[in-house]
Amino acid sequence: MKRKQKKVLIRIILSAAMLVPLKIFAPEEEWFAALLFAVPYLVIGYDVIFKAVRNIAHGQVFDENFLMFIATVGAFATGEYTEAAAVMLFYQIGELFQSVAVGRSRKSISELMDIRPDHANIEREGIIVEADPEEIAVGDTIIIKPGERIPLDGVVLEGESSVDTSALTGESLPKTVRPGDDVFSGCIDQTGLLRVRVTKPYGESTVARILDLVENAASKKAASENFITRFARVYTPAVCFAALALAVIPPIFAGGWMTWLHRALIFLVISCPCALVISVPLSFFGGIGGASRRGILVKGSSYLETLARTDTVVMDKTGTLTKGVFNVTAVHPERISEGELLELAAYAESYSSHPIAGSILDACNTEPDRRRITSNEEISGMGVHAVIDGREVFAGNDKLMDSIGVKWHPCHHVGTTVHIAVDGEYAGHLVISDELKETSAQAVRDLKAAGVSRTVMLTGDTKAVGEDTAGKLGIDEVYTELLPAGKVEKVEELIRTKPEDKALVFVGDGINDAPVLSRADVGIAMGAMGSDAAIEAADIVLMNDDPAKLAEAISLSRRTLRIVYENIAFALGVKGLVLVLGALGFASMWAAVFADVGVAVIAILNAMRTLRAGPAGS
C-alpha cells in the first residue's frame, strides 16, 4: 500500500472511531450534535470537499466529488448527521479499495517493466566497465554474467548458457544459446558467461519496443470504454438535474419539502457512476496485464474487444504452422553436379531474407563469396535472378521458369520446389520440405473448440504442399501459390464473406506478412521475439512461436469482455432499481451507500478476475 493510501486508511479508521460512539451517545441539542458529527465528516471528507469546490471554480461541475459534496452537505442541512458522515466514510472506503485495485492491476504491467536493463558490461582497454545500454553502439561487444539481464539484442560470440526468456514469452523452460545464436534484451543469462556482439541500438531493441508497446496500450480504447466515457458525461449532469427536479417539483403539488429534499439527496448518492467509470477500464487493463505475463502482448483494449468476436482465423503456413527450418534435397540435377546445383542456388539466394533462402544457404555449408555475384534481383512471388561468375542464373518456382521460357521438370516429392536455370537451360531443382510445429494440430483443434467456425491457410507454396499441410492439421480451407498481393486480396474476400458482427484474425510470422496483418480485423504476429516487422505491423504479438497461444488469446479476450459486460449490466441494473426506489421513498441513505460504494466494490472485485488470465470458462 502506498503512502497516500496509508494516510487515507488512517483517516478512515479515525473517522469511524469517532462516528460509532457519536451514533450511540449523540447529544439531543441539534447544534451541538451537528458540531460533533462535523468533526469525523471533515476528517474523512475534506479532500472531497476541496476537489468539489476547486472543480466548480474551474467550471468542472458534474463529477463524483460534486455529487458527494452536495448530497452530504444537504444531509447535514436536513438534520441527517449520521448519514452524512457515514456516506462520506463509505465513499472514501470505496475510493481506497478502488485505488488499491488499480494499483494491483498496474503492478501486473510494472512487473513487465522490470525487464528494462539497468546497465551493460562493456570491455574497454582490458577492463570491464558498466555503461548505460543507450550508450552502447551496434557492433560493440558486451559481456553478460550469469544472473544478469541481457541489456541489448545481439549474437553470441563466445560462451554457452541457459537463458530464461519467460519475461518475454511467458514460457518457463530455459533456452540454451551457443556461439552464433541470437539473444534478446530482457532475457536473463542463467548459467554461463556470454560475450555478445550488439546488433541493434537500445531504442530498437526487443525490450525497448515491448515496453513502448505496453506503455501505449491504454491509448487504443475499446468501444465499451469509449461508451462509458461518453455515458458518464451525459449521465452525471442528467441525474443532477433529475435530483433537482425531484426536490422541487413534487413539493409544489404535494408539500413536504424536507421529505422530497431528502429523497433527492439519496438520489444523488445512488447516481455516482464510480462502478462503471472504474471497473470497465480496470477490466481491460487487467486483461492486458494478465496476457502480457503469458507472452501475449496486446496493443490496446480495442484489439482485445475485437479479438473476442473472432469467427474466422486465417494463418500463414511457413513460420506460423511450420518450423520454418527446411530440409534441402537436390533432385535430378542436369548438366551439372548436385553440389554445383546447390552452390548456384545458394549464391542466387544469398541476398534474400526469405526463410527458404536461409535454408539453402545453410545446406550449402559455406559462406558465399559475394565478389562472384555481378548482379542480383529478387522477382516478387517467383524467385531470384543473378549473374554468378558471368553465368545467368534463375532460381524460383514454376512461374519463374515459364516467364523466361525454360521447360522445367515436374517434381513428384512433397515439398517446395526451387527450379534452377543456368544460361537459359534447365539445370535441375531443389526440394525443400518444412516440418510442422508439434503444437500446430492441437492449436487448430483448440481454435475450433473455442468457437472459431472457419480456419483458413494461405501460402505461396504449391497446391500439393499446401493441401498436404492443411490435411494433416485439419484446416477447413487452403489457398496456395499466392503472391504477397494475392494474400491481401484473399483476406479482403474472406472479410466480405464473414458475418458482419464477427472478426477475421490473420496470424503470420511478421517478417513478410505486414500488408496482411494490417488488413485483417486483428493482426497477430507469431514468434515475434526480435522481429521489428512483427511488433510494428501486428495488433497483438505472441512472443514465442507456439500456435497454441492463439486459442488462449481468444479465450482470454472473451473472458475479459464477459466480465466487462457483467459489470455494466450489474451496475446499471442495481443503480436503476435503487434510483426508482429512492425517488419513491422506499430506499434509505444506507441503500444509497450500497448502490454507490457496494456496487463499485463488487464490480472492481469482478474486474480484477481478469488479472488471473485464466481460461474462458473460469
What confidence score (pLDDT) does residue 143 get?
94
Among 316, 461, 539, 546, the active-site one is: 316
Q: Please check the confidence at residue 614 and state whether its pLDDT lies above 60.
A: no
Annotated domain spans of the chain: 120-151+153-199, 296-318+437-554, 323-435
The set of cell numbers assigned to 616 is: 474462458
Contact 504, 520 (CB under 8 A): yes
Contact 159, 141 (CB under 8 A): no
pLDDT digits (tens, 9 = 90+) for 491-522: 999 999 998 889 999 998 766 677 888 889 99
Confidence of residue 294 (pLDDT cuts 50, 70, 90): confident
pLDDT digits (tens, 9 = 90+) for 90-116: 878 877 876 776 666 555 555 555 667
pLDDT digits (tens, 9 = 90+) for 111-153: 555 667 778 999 877 788 899 888 899 999 999 999 898 999 9
What confidence score (pLDDT) does residue 553 get?
92
**Interhelix angle 257-270/223-254, nearest 10 degrees:** 170
Q: With the CA atoms of 319, 321, 326 and 332 taken in that order, what torsion angle do they form, in degrees rounded to the nearest 10?
A: -120
What ranges in 216-329 are assigned the alpha helix state H? Answer: 223-254, 257-270, 274-292, 301-307
CATH code, residues 296-318+437-554 = 3.40.50.1000
pLDDT digits (tens, 9 = 90+) for 562-594: 998 898 888 888 888 888 888 888 887 778 777
Confidence of residue 605 (pLDDT cuts 50, 70, 90): confident
What confidence score (pLDDT) does residue 617 get?
40
For the entire predicted model, the pTM comes to 0.69
Confidence of residue 170 (pLDDT cuts 50, 70, 90): low
Helix (H) or strand (E) holding 128: strand 127-131
Helix (H) or strand (E) holding 578: helix 548-583
The set of cell numbers assigned to 143 is: 559481456
List strands edge to edge, sheet with 454-458: 296-298, 540-542, 522-525, 503-508, 310-316, 454-458, 477-479
User: For all residues of the chain together, what is the average pLDDT?
Assistant: 83
What ranges in 59-194 are assigned the alpha helix state H? Answer: 64-77, 81-113, 166-169
Contact 342, 430 (CB under 8 A): yes
What confidence score (pLDDT) does residue 218 get?
53
What confidence score (pLDDT) does residue 551 get?
93
Most confident of 289-293, 312-316, 478-482, 530-534: 312-316
What confidence score (pLDDT) does residue 216 get?
62
Confidence of residue 85 (pLDDT cuts 50, 70, 90): confident
Q: Please check the confidence at residue 155 and state whether its pLDDT lies above 80.
A: yes
pLDDT digits (tens, 9 = 90+) for 203-218: 888 777 776 766 565 5
Lowest mean pLDDT among 210-219, 305-314, 378-387, 493-502: 210-219
Q: Please check the confidence at residue 1 and state whether its pLDDT lies above 70.
A: no
**In sequence order, what are the residues at sequence separation of 6 or more whose Cβ sits closer than 8 angstroms to the Cβ of residue 252?**
none
What confidence score (pLDDT) does residue 616 get?
41
Reference 388, options 329, 345, 339; nearest CA is 345
Catalytic, 596? Answer no
What amino acid occupies position 612? R
The CATH architecture of the domain made up of 120-151+153-199 is Distorted Sandwich (2.70)
CATH code, residues 323-435 = 3.40.1110.10
User: Residue 416: phi, psi to the nearest 5?
Assistant: -85, 130
Average pLDDT over residues 339-365: 85
The alpha carbon of residue 90 and the mean position of all alpha carbons in its chain are separated, in whole angstroms, by: 35
Give the dihedral sign, CA 443/445/448/453.
positive
Q: With the CA atoms of 228, 231, 237 and 242 taken in that order, what torsion angle do they form, in degrees rounded to the nearest 10?
A: -110
pLDDT digits (tens, 9 = 90+) for 10-23: 998 999 999 888 88
